[in-house]
Amino acid sequence: MHEKILLVEDEKTLAKALKFSLEKEGFQVDVAYDGEEAVRAIKNEEPDLVVLDLMLPRMDGFEVCRSIRRGSDIPIIMLTARSEDIDKILGLELGADDYITKPFNTRELLARIKAILRRTGQHAGPAKKILRYGDLQIDFARHKVTVGERVVLLTSREYALLSFLASNPGRVYSREQLLEQVWGYNYCGDARTVDVHIRHLREKIEENPAEPRLILTVWGTGYKFREG
Ligand code: CA
- Supply the DSSP string of the chain, one letter for each residue: ---EEEEE-S-HHHHHHHHHHHHHTT-EEEEESSHHHHHHHHHHH--SEEEEESS-SSS-HHHHHHHHHHH----EEEEES-GGGHHHHTSTTT--SEEEESS--HHHHHHHHHHHHHHHHGGGSS---EEEETTEEEETTTTEEEETTEEEP--HHHHHHHHHHHHSTT--EEHHHHIIIII-S---S-THHHHHHHHHHHHHH-SSTTS-SSEEEETTTEEEEPP-
pLDDT greater than 60 at residue 128:
no
Residue 104 CA to ligand 1 centre (angstroms): 14
pLDDT digits (tens, 9 = 90+) for 74-118: 899 999 887 777 777 776 567 788 889 999 999 999 999 988 888
Which pLDDT belongs to residue 218? 94
What rounded mean pLDDT belongs to the chain? 87
State the average pLDDT over residues 24-53. 92
> Percent of the chain beyond pLDDT 90?
55
Residue 163 CA to ligand 1 centre (angstroms): 34
pLDDT greater than 90 at residue 145:
yes
Which pLDDT belongs to residue 124? 41
118 vs 204, more confident: 204
pLDDT digits (tens, 9 = 90+) for 160-197: 999 999 988 889 999 988 988 888 766 565 788 899 99
Residues, Cβ < 5 Å to ion ligand 1: 10, 53, 55
Residue 38 CA to ligand 1 centre (angstroms): 13
Which pLDDT belongs to residue 2? 75
Residue 201 CA to ligand 1 centre (angstroms): 30
State the average pLDDT over residues 127-133. 73
**Structure confidence at residue 32 as a pLDDT band (50, 70, 90):** very high
pLDDT greater than 60 at residue 122:
no
Structural domains of the chain ordered from first start = 4-122 (3.40.50.2300), 130-225 (1.10.10.10)
**Structure confidence at residue 125 as a pLDDT band (50, 70, 90):** very low
**Structure confidence at residue 126 as a pLDDT band (50, 70, 90):** very low
Whether the CB-CB separation of 77 and 97 falls below 8 Å is answered with: yes
